[in-house]
Amino acid sequence: MSFHLSDAYARKLEQYELSTKLGEGTYASVFRAIHKPSSTLVALKQINLNRDEGTPCTALREISLLKELRHANIVALLDVAHTRERLTLIFEHLDCDLKQHMDACGKNLAPANVQLILYQVLRGIAYCHSKSILHRDLKPQNLLLNRATGDVKLADFGLARAFGIPVKAFSHEVVTLWYRPPDVLMGSQVYSTSIDMWSIGCIFGEMTTGRPLFAGKNVDEQLARIFKQRGTPTELTWPGVSQLPNFRGDFPVTPAVQLASIVPKMDSLGVTLLNRLLQYNPAMRVSAAEALQHVYFASIHAIVGNLPNEQSIFDRTGITMILEPPVEAAQAPAASTAAAAAAVPAPIAQQQQDISQQQQAFQDQQQRELQLTRMQQMSQFQQFQQLQAHQHLLAQPNHVVNNNNNNSSSQAHPSHLDSQFTQ
């Protein structure tokens, strides 16, 4: 009697009862299922196999990486079953993804919850980066949420890659368009952890505004939308940008918009962090480890401290998600929404007030950082004008000669002018 490993896997799959189809992609379908022996909810990702092509490389990559990653903010791969027809990945089950949660809440997340969600995303990606792994496809749909506990977990590592030093040349066709950084949009294939940090900045802004920060239909429109808000990059603001493969010298010159006006509901501490996440120059983007230490998270970090990787932040007393309105409340008329808001328990409302007061206390001591950030966000249009004036001055050969009798401090000195642009 012959024995096939696929037969053993088939018997393993018999332990699961499929219930609801959660989603479908090009290569896989995801189902909610019940593990019958333990009555535990799980998620089954079924990947149909092509006899000629074999197992998709994205699936192999996801399996190999998730077997290595063990963290409270990364979805757990519980088991794998491989039959002749399909490959099945068995994951822990979570209620929804962040996109579904934002839609259910009427795209109006409580500021304290935005803070807690972002902290967990950064915590998960910091762990990945410490293991030399880039996610490369961070977006709300790939962040899973347990509504009951508030836990957030990174998922879908199909595009994730291990990286080394020096950083390898990767494909620039990564990251869903809206969350793709400008260096990758302009064809850069040499990148590192900064690719994930730009994506996290886009998610941060989207949680606050209720809509994507940069929602282009194609690469050109995506760049145009970014430039419209962040200003058109130049060699002054982003050294080396003109060397990117798809950089065009005819990009319309657009001045930067104050970031606070783009995310009016975000407090000043959040704006300073968002600015560091959305830096044009990849080398200037804040790392995940640095972001976790930002004063925006001071009230959380004071409680969480150096939490072990396997523990949830909600294991610590004092960390609790504020009750968000249910799906029905988000879809109901305004009167029903108001009634649902009025029904929020008093202790939760008090907790939100306490967190807000803590943030306000830290704002006073961070005014210097905010002022510095605003100086760094000086209008790029003004910089462009200064550059034009500088070039015009250098184009006049008699200028310096005619001023030999003047005080030396009044002479035009190119290196002095250049220093103004690089500061």
pLDDT, one tens digit per residue, over 208-265 is 999 999 999 999 999 999 999 999 999 999 999 989 988 988 888 899 999 999 999 9
Question: For residue 392, which phi and psi values (nearest 5 degrees)?
Answer: -65, -40
pLDDT of residue 127: 96
- At 202, which amino acid appears? C
pLDDT of residue 388: 52
Helix axis angle for 414-422 and 380-394, nearest 10°, is 170
CA 4 to centroid of chain Cα atoms: 43
Q: Which class is 12-92 in CATH?
A: alpha beta
Q: How far apart are CA 58 and CA 68, in angstroms?
A: 16
Lowest-confidence pick of 11-20, 32-41, 87-96: 11-20
Chain position carrying tokens 């690089």: 422
Q: Is 1 helix (H, G, I), strand (E, B) or coil?
A: coil
Angle at 397 between CA 396 and CA 401, to 5 degrees: 115
Chain position carrying tokens 């994507």: 212
- What does the H/E/C string look like for 353-404? HHHHHHHHHHHHHCHHHHHHHHHHCCCHHHHHHHHHHHHHHHCCCHHHHCCC
Please tell me what DSSP assigns to residue 291: H
Q: Which residues make up each annotated binding site for ATP?
A: 45
Q: Which residues make up each annotated binding site?
A: 45
Q: Is 417 helix (H, G, I), strand (E, B) or coil?
A: helix
Q: Closest Cα partner for 101 from 152, 137, 136, 154? A: 152
Q: Closest Cα partner for 117 from 145, 75, 157, 155? A: 145
Task: Give the C-alpha distances (Å, rounded to integers) separating 207 from 21, 141, 340.
Answer: 26, 13, 21
DSSP string, 214-275: ---SSHHHHHHHHHHHH----TTTSTTGGGSTT--TT----PPPPHHHHSTTS-HHHHHHHH
pLDDT digits (tens, 9 = 90+) for 148-168: 999 999 998 877 777 654 444
Domain segments of the chain: what residues? 12-92, 96-316
Q: Is 126 helix (H, G, I), strand (E, B) or coil?
A: helix
Of the spans 55-64, 236-245, 270-279, which averages the highest pLDDT? 270-279
pLDDT digits (tens, 9 = 90+) for 306-346: 899 999 999 999 999 988 765 554 444 433 333 333 333 33
State the architecture of 96-316 in CATH terms.
Orthogonal Bundle (1.10)
Q: Closest Cα partner for 278 from 248, 315, 310, 237? A: 237
pLDDT of residue 42: 96
Share of the chain above pLDDT 70, in %: 70
pLDDT of residue 122: 99
Greater confidence, 399 or 282?
A: 282
Q: Is 46 helix (H, G, I), strand (E, B) or coil?
A: strand
Chain position carrying tokens 């002749």: 84
pLDDT of residue 333: 40
Q: Are 180 and 174 in contact (CB under 8 A)?
A: yes
Confidence check: pLDDT of 391 > 70: no
Catalytic center residues: 137
Q: How far apart are CA 376 and CA 370, in angstroms?
A: 10
Q: Are 153 and 74 in contact (CB under 8 A)?
A: yes
